[in-house]
Each structure stands twice: as C-alpha cells, then as structure tokens.
Amino acid sequence: MTSRTSLVRLAVSAGVGLALSAAASFGAMAQPELKIAYKPSPIHDESVKMFQKWGEANGVTITLDAIPYNVFMEKVTATLTTGGDQYDVIWHNDDWGQLWKKWLEPITDKEILDLVAKKPLEAFINDDGQNTVVPMAHTFGVFFYRTDLIKESELPKTWDEMVAISKKLQSEGKVEHGFVGGMSMNNTWFTWFWAMWTNECDILKPIYERDNAKLAAAGWTAALDQPCMQEVAEFWWDAMNKHKISPRGMPSYDRNAANAIFAAGKAAFTVSDSVHYGDFNNPEKSKVAGNVSIGKFPLGPRGKNDFAWNEIWGWAIPKGVPEERKKLAKQMLLAMMRDSEGQVNLWKATGGPPPNVTMWDDIAKQDPFMKRLKEVSLDITPPTHAAYYFPKWPAVHKAFSNAVIKAVTGSREDIAKNLAAGMDPVHKAATE
C-alpha cells in the first residue's frame, strides 16, 4: 500500500509539474502589456488613440488608468518614490518636471529629439543634464475672443482697451461679462500670470529669470511688493468691482468654470489653453462655435513687447519599469511622434500643436487657425517659461496664489498691504 501510494503521489506531482511548466510557457508567450497613467482630456485622449493604434498593430495590450487632475500628481508621485512599476508610461507636466526628475528614465533617443522643440524640454532636465520627457502636445494660454462681436482690427492692445470694449459690449446687451478666466490656485495662468507677464512682472526676482542659481543668489525673493504686481492686483480688483467686466466670483473659478461661461456666449474674452479651441468651436459643446478666434495678449501699462509662452505636456517612463518594458514604451512613443495621421487628428480635435514640430509649417499652409496661432504665439520669442523649475515650485505657487487672492478679495486700499504680507510665505515656501 505504501509503495502504490508513493507511486500515485509521484504521478500526481509530475502532472502538477507539467501543468505549471505549461502555464509558465503560456505566460511567457502572452501578449505584452503597457500600462498608461493619464488625465482624461481631449489632448490626452488623442495621444492615447495613437498608443492604441500602435498596440493593435504590434500585438501590445494598452491598459489605461484615467486619473483626475486634482489627484494625479499625488497618486503618481507615490508610485514613483517607491520605485514601483505600476505604470509604464505617465503623463508628465512642466509644473512638476523638477519634482519627478530623479525617478524618470532619461529620454535621449536622437530619433525622438530630432522631431521636437528643444526649449520646452528645459523643464524636464535631470541633474545629469538629460531629458526625461517625450512631448505629447504643445499647450499654452491664448487670448480668445468672439469674432461675431469684435473685428480683428478692433482687438484690444492694452488692458485699458479691453476694459473699454468690454463695457461697450455689456452696455449694448451683447454679453454679460467682458472678460472671464480661471483665477483659483492652479488656474493662475488664465488671469494672474498673463496679466503679470504682460506688465513686466513675475513671481520672483529677477523678473523673468528661470536660472535657479540666479534666483538663489537673489535670495528667492518674491516680487509681490513691487509696483508692477500692485498694478496687476488693482487691474483685476477694478475689473470685478469698479468696471464690473468680470464676475465677482472669479477668484474661485477654475478653468472649467471660466470656459463654460465663454462657451455659453456670456463673455467676449477669455484666456485658456489653446487646446480648448476645439471645444469652443464644437457645436455640441459651445454656443459660440464658429465665432471664436485668438489674438495677442493686451499689454499692461509697463508692457513693451508682445508676450506669449509655449510649454508642453508630455509622457515619461518611470525608472522602476523593467528594461524590456522600457524598451517597448520607447518604441510606442517614437511611433506616436511619427504618426502623421494621428498628429494631424490631435491638432484638428484640440487646437494643440502636435509634438512633431516638423509638421507645423505644413499644417499652417492648410489650416487658418494654425497660421493664426503662429502669428500670435508660436512665432513670438517668449521672455520666460510659464512656470519655475525647482522642486519647491508647487509650494511657491500656492503661497503666491494665497497672497494675490487675498489682495483681490479684500478692499482696494489694502491691496499693497496684503501683497506685502505674502512676501515671507513665498520666500519660506522656496527655501524651507
């Protein structure tokens, strides 16, 4: 009995071993997979479509994790800092380019870099001087206006002209608001930042400086107490309270709230990411579809030259990803850059210039909006980047936002005092 039992056990054990071996062999032959962390938005969606097309053509499963913007950085940072490989490719933004730099795979492939604009990559360089991003699309704020209300020749060149045109349109009952834009934290580009930069002003001194060594030499000193910043805060206070061309509740608006007001036909002007041109001209989403174009930013009283900025959203590969999947991810990203049809579709769907800059001139020859975008933005040499590139920038941004919101929601007489009160918090955010 014992001998026969042993033989049975041996047979069962051998069978299990063969089954496990077969399973392992099957697993080795299973279709490879790449996991993508992204933010649901038109521009991400179009980029992801190129990934999926490549995956279908090359037998690679593309698994998507759509993460809301307000939790994206925190969630992905947690995976990066643990060295995990939960994601093979992640959305990468210039706002946190320096925060993530040491956890990302260098992207130095000449085949990719030959197709991209070099200056926007400066936000994503690691301590070894290596790039860590593949562009997804170019994104920047533009000055949108209603073509059914304002001729191109009548576009405001200064803040004062924007106020005058807004008040005229309001008095004629054509719009509820002259200008609307996002103003809350992380939406500062659409009010505070563009007005600040067109008035020769900035968050830190020296003005327009982005060299961290020079910022440190200047003591990481805020520019909140400068006359140029007081003029910015007074402009927005007057826009909401004196001239009433902007909603009183605008300090709490994010970009989505402002975009909705403009798309509903209730405002003549807004500043938003260029990629929202597609939404503004989509009849299913917008009451002003077909009546939207862009112009140059109106200049503040200190403004001397036309202003624009040009940054990118991108994709990155975490260092914790196994080498074979890193190689596969780079193949996918290169295929995206070379996907001419997908790049044009991204442009048509969003109004965001595609990452392959060698296609821009050809698109401009066929598309009036791209031609206009080059005139008012892409062909303007920006004096600065649209963010700062050091790890504590998010904290500095928050401290700045707190100070200017307090200034614009208090009394006009207290604007200078409230701005000055933000000097120390901004400095501490940069240094502690």
Residue 2 has pLDDT above 90, yes or no: no
Average pLDDT over residues 253-260: 97
Residue 16 has pLDDT above 70, yes or no: no
Give the Cβ contact number of residue 192 at 10 Å. 24
In which band, very low, low, confident or very high, does the pLDDT at 394 lie, cut at 50, 70 and 90? confident
pLDDT of amino acid 60: 98
Handedness of CA 278, 279, 284, 286 (dihedral sign): negative
Q: What is the pLDDT of residues 293-310, one digit of tens each?
A: 999 999 999 999 999 999
H/E segment holding residue 178: strand 177-180
What Å distances lie between residue 351 and 237, 249, 372, 373, CA to CA?
31, 28, 11, 9
Residue 240 structure tokens: 């909401």
Question: What torsion, rounded to 10 degrees, do the Cα atoms 193, 197, 201, 205 define?
Answer: 80
410 vs 404: CA distance, rounded Å: 10
Residue % of the chain over a pLDDT of 90: 84
Q: What is the mean pLDDT of the chain?
A: 92
108 vs 125: CA distance, rounded Å: 11
In which band, very low, low, confident or very high, does the pLDDT at 321 lie, cut at 50, 70 and 90? very high
Residue 7 has pLDDT above 50, yes or no: no
Average pLDDT over residues 374-378: 94
Neighbour-count burial of 385, counting CB atoms closer than 10 A to its CB (0-12 exposed, 13-18 middle, 19+ buried): middle
- For residue 233, the 8-state DSSP code is H
Average pLDDT over residues 333-339: 98
Residue 1 has pLDDT above 50, yes or no: no
Do 420 and 227 meet the contact criterion of CB atoms below 8 Å apart?
no
- State which amino acid sits at residue 302: R
Phi, psi dihedral angles at 298 (to 5 degrees):
-65, 140
pLDDT of amino acid 23: 37
Do 269 and 143 meet the contact criterion of CB atoms below 8 Å apart?
yes
Phi, psi dihedral angles at 188 (to 5 degrees):
-65, -25
In which band, very low, low, confident or very high, does the pLDDT at 275 lie, cut at 50, 70 and 90? confident
Residue 144 has pLDDT above 60, yes or no: yes
168 vs 162: CA distance, rounded Å: 10
Give the Cβ contact number of residue 168 at 10 Å. 15
Nearest-5° angle of CA 112, CA 114, CA 116?
Answer: 75
pLDDT of amino acid 266: 98
pLDDT of amino acid 349: 85
Domains of the chain (ranges; CATH) run 33-138+311-378 (3.40.190.10), 141-307+392-431 (3.40.190.10)
Residue 317 has pLDDT above 70, yes or no: yes
- What are 358-362's contacts with CB under 8 Å, separation 24+? 358/115
pLDDT of amino acid 29: 56
Average pLDDT over residues 235-245: 98
pLDDT of amino acid 19: 38
pLDDT of amino acid 20: 38
In which band, very low, low, confident or very high, does the pLDDT at 139 lie, cut at 50, 70 and 90? confident
pLDDT of amino acid 351: 82
pLDDT of amino acid 11: 38
Of 277 and 214, the structure prediction assigns the larger pLDDT to 214
4 vs 11: CA distance, rounded Å: 11
Handedness of CA 342, 343, 348, 354 (dihedral sign): positive
Give the least confident one: 52-56, 87-91, 231-235, 343-347. Answer: 343-347
- State which amino acid sits at residue 352: G
Phi, psi dihedral angles at 311 (to 5 degrees):
-125, 180
Residue 5 has pLDDT above 80, yes or no: no
Q: What is the pLDDT of residues 401-424, one digit of tens each?
A: 999 999 999 999 999 999 999 999
Of 260, 275, 295, 283, nearest in space to 145 by CA: 295
Average pLDDT over residues 369-393: 92
- For the chain, the first-to-last Cα distance in angstroms comes to 77
pLDDT of amino acid 9: 40
